[in-house]
Amino acid sequence: MSIRSKRDLEVELSRLKGFDESSFELEQYPTPSHIAADWIWSMALKGEVAGKIILDAGSGPGILGIGLLLMGARKVYFLDSDPKIMPVYIKNYNEIKEVYEVGEAEFVTGDISLFDGEVDIVVQNPPFGTKVEHADKKFLEKAFSVASIVYSMHKWSTKTFVEAICKDFHYRITDVFRYEFPIRAKFKFHTKPVKMIDVGLWRLEKEKM
């Protein structure tokens, strides 16, 4: 069995188990399956998935990493600081393995700053900085230290910050995708069933010195 279209990928990702309990402190909002599928499909069309070793930083339940494995990634590191989420992405991975022939997965619980693996590409949907301003900064700093290509999602309102840190670390922005990111009510302070957040997905590539 194989994934033959972006729609096939979206359907498979929509079946994955999500957070049992989301943490406001960690800003745990799962990447919607339609956005994840569009993201991964775009990478695959660029030849940036098949045979690659990829870090899914702040992986949550693992939707990005599993999507990458479904599209032919050789290995994906699933990294999240919340130990409660590890059983979820392990379960998702094992269930996918029963249906598809997929690459290797390594599951890591810990702070992003401690990751020391070698990867081809980093994908990440880090905290948006709602709870702690620029909580996504350390994700970008680590990503820049381990890969020459980084895909990173941030609130569109932080566009200037993303551009500035890329310049500081000598990365150039090659592609930008913009999405309406639905956040479903999870906490008492949420007043609407779904709130749409304006986000951007940046593809960042190390400048040749």
In angstroms, rounded to a whole number, what is the distance separating the alpha carbons of residues 148 and 119? 9
Residue 37 forms part of a structural domain: yes
Instruction: Give the position of tokens 């890329």.
Output: 166
Measured at the CA of 189, the angle between CA 188 and CA 195, to 5 degrees, comes to 110
SS3 135: coil
Provide the pLDDT for residue 188.
52
Secondary structure element (H or E) that encloses residue 197, with its range = strand 194-206
Domain count, the chain: 1
Given this model, what pLDDT does residue 140 score?
96
- Digit-coded pLDDT (tens) for 80-123: 988 888 888 899 999 999 999 999 999 999 999 999 998 999 99
Residue 72 lies in a domain: yes
Looking at residue 190, what is its pLDDT? Answer: 46
Cα separation of 200 and 157, whole Å?
A: 9
**Is residue 22 domain-resident?**
yes
DSSP 114: G
| Tens of pLDDT, residues 168-208 | 999 999 999 999 988 765 545 445 667 888 999 999 999 98
Instruction: For residue 121, give the nearest of 74, 36, 55, 47 by alpha carbon.
Output: 55
Domain hosting 57: range is 6-206
Residues 112-165 have pLDDT tens digits of: 999 999 899 999 998 876 666 677 899 999 999 999 999 999 999 999 999 999
CA-CA distance, 99 to 69, in Å (whole number)? 12
Q: Is 17 helix (H, G, I), strand (E, B) or coil?
A: coil
Tell me which of 24 and 6 has the higher pLDDT: 6
Is residue 1 in a domain? no
Residue 113 within a domain: yes
119 in a domain, yes or no? yes
pTM recorded for the entire structure: 0.90
- Return the CATH number at 129: 3.40.50.150
- The answer as to whether 58 is a domain residue is yes
Domain membership flag for residue 161:
yes
